């Protein structure tokens, strides 16, 4: 049995309240953030709002669960190597909160209303709670391991499409200008002719929530981190979907190249990505 509470405190309730509070605050800052800093390149940005949101989330979680650990994007040095190291170092914790304070920072900066707050809780390396909040639509997606996934009390379910050709799928363009850009292009070239159409909204966590809710039948992206994926991954699984890496291996916290689908189109999509060598070998 998964422990979802300490005493009378529900992990899920804290995750929900925290994501909602942070999301509301972020939305209030839309078009009004003061400073913007380049992280690794002009494609990779951070604002005071990312940092403020993470601070708010950390404080709320620490108030309720002072013995738990927290891994948040803005607490980690920029770049893939530092991110991988930070996750490895955090992995020992019995309870680890994995936080993306603003998923879709580029959208936030440009006023493109598609971004989210993503909060997951791992117990001994397994995600047991996932919450993704979209303040622009006021949609709060919640999943508990073994208990299903919900958006505002309504159960979410993946789409029924059986074939890639009938499917709307999404991807994201890596912000690090490394080999993942070329891989993403190879993947797109293979996938575009084989699906109904492709979207790219710019928030990994929301794309995953949309797969969970049946609004997308599939999603893939290269070079992500645990804070982009962890909460949305549980939403997809608890909605009847399937999540693996681009080679078809089961999801774990270190997976960076992700494929999430309604399950029915999973092998077809993963195979196309593999054949196109999207993730490199
Ligand atoms: P962010 O907005 O939290 O930074 C868009 O395709 C997705 O890629 C977003 O979820 C975005 O998250 C994420 N992303 C941004 N910068 C990244 C980086 N340097 N490496 C990997 N993923 C990144
Ligand atoms: Ca970022
Ligand atoms: Ca992110
Ligand atoms: Ca972020």
Q: Is the pLDDT of residue 1 over 80?
A: no
Q: Ligand 1 pocket: which of 41, 99, 134, 175 to mutate (most atoms <8 Å of CB)?
A: 175
**Which atom of ligand 1 is nearest to 105's Cα?**
2
Please, what is the average pLDDT of the chain? 94
For tokens 């909160």, the residue is 97
pLDDT band for position 36 (50/70/90)? confident
For tokens 């993730």, the residue is 279
Helices then strands (H, E): number in the chain? 8, 16
Residues 6 or more apart from 50 whose CB is under 8 A from it? Answer: 73, 74, 101, 102, 105
Q: Which CATH architecture has domain 164-275?
A: 3-Layer(aba) Sandwich (3.40)
Distance from Cα 275 to the centre of ligand 3, integer Å: 27
Residues 6 or more apart from 149 whose CB is under 8 A from it? Answer: 130, 141, 142, 143, 155, 156, 212, 234, 235, 238, 239
**Cβ atoms of 127 and 140 closer than 8 Å:** no
Nearest Cα neighbor of 72 from 96, 102, 100, 94 is 100
The pLDDT of residue 142: 98
Strands (E) across 48-125 are located at 69-72, 95-103, 116-123
**Cβ atoms of 167 and 195 closer than 8 Å:** yes
DSSP β-bridge partners for residue 5: 10
ipTM: 0.94
- CATH of the domain spanning 5-155, picked from 3.40.1160.10, 3.30.540.10, 3.90.650.10, 2.60.40.10: 3.30.540.10
The pLDDT of residue 8: 65
Name the residue at shortest CA distance from atom 15 of ligand 1: 175
Average pLDDT over residues 22-38: 87
Q: Ligand 1 pocket: which of 50, 181, 187, 228 to mutate (most atoms <8 Å of CB)?
A: 228
224-251 per-position pLDDT tens digit: 999 999 999 999 999 999 999 999 999 9
Looking at the chain, the domain(s) classified CATH 3.30.540.10 span 5-155
Distance from Cα 149 to the centre of ligand 1, integer Å: 24
Question: What token pair was written down for 103?
Answer: 């998923």
Distance from Cα 56 to the centre of ligand 4, integer Å: 14
Q: Cα(243)–Cα(131) distance, rounded to whole angstroms?
A: 17
Q: Which residues of 109-123 are buried (b: 16+ CB within 10 A; e: fewer)?
A: beeeebbbbbbbbbb
84-116 per-position pLDDT tens digit: 999 999 999 999 999 999 999 999 999 999 999
Average pLDDT over residues 165-174: 95
Q: Cα(2)–Cα(44) distance, rounded to whole angstroms?
A: 37
Distance from Cα 2 to the centre of ligand 1, integer Å: 30
Looking at the chain, the domain(s) classified CATH 3.40.190.80 span 164-275
């Amino acid at each position: 049995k998964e422990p979802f509470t300490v005493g009378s405190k529900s992990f899920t309730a804290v995750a929900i309240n925290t994501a909602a509070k942070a999301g509301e605050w972020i939305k209030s800052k839309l078009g009004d953030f003061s400073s913007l800093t380049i992280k690794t390149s002009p494609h990779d940005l951070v604002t005071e709002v990312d940092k403020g949101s993470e601070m708010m989330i950390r404080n709320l979680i620490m108030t309720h669960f002072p013995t738990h650990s927290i891994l948040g994007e803005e607490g980690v040095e920029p770049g893939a190597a530092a991110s991988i190291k930070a996750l490895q170092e955090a992995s020992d914790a019995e309870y680890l909160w994995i936080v993306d304070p603003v998923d879709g920072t580029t959208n936030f900066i440009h006023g493109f209303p598609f971004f989210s707050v993503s909060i997951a809780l791992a117990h001994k390396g397994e995600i047991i709670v996932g919450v993704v909040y979209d303040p622009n639509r006021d949609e709060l997606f919640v999943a508990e391991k073994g208990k299903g996934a919900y958006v505002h009390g309504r159960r979410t379910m993946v789409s029924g499409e059986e074939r890639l050709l009938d499917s709307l799928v999404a991807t994201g363009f890596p912000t690090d200008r490394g080999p993942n850009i070329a891989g993403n292009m190879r993947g797109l070239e293979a996938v575009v002719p084989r699906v109904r159409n492709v979207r790219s909204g710019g928030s990994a966590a929301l794309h995953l929530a949309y797969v969970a809710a049946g609004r997308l039948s599939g999603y893939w992206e290269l070079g992500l981190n645990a804070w982009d994926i962890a909460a949305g991954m549980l939403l997809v699984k608890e909605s009847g979907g399937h999540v693996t890496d681009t080679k078809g291996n089961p999801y774990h916290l270190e997976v960076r190249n992700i494929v999430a689908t309604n399950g029915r189109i999973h092998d077809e999509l993963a195979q196309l990505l593999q054949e196109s060598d999207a993730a490199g070998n």
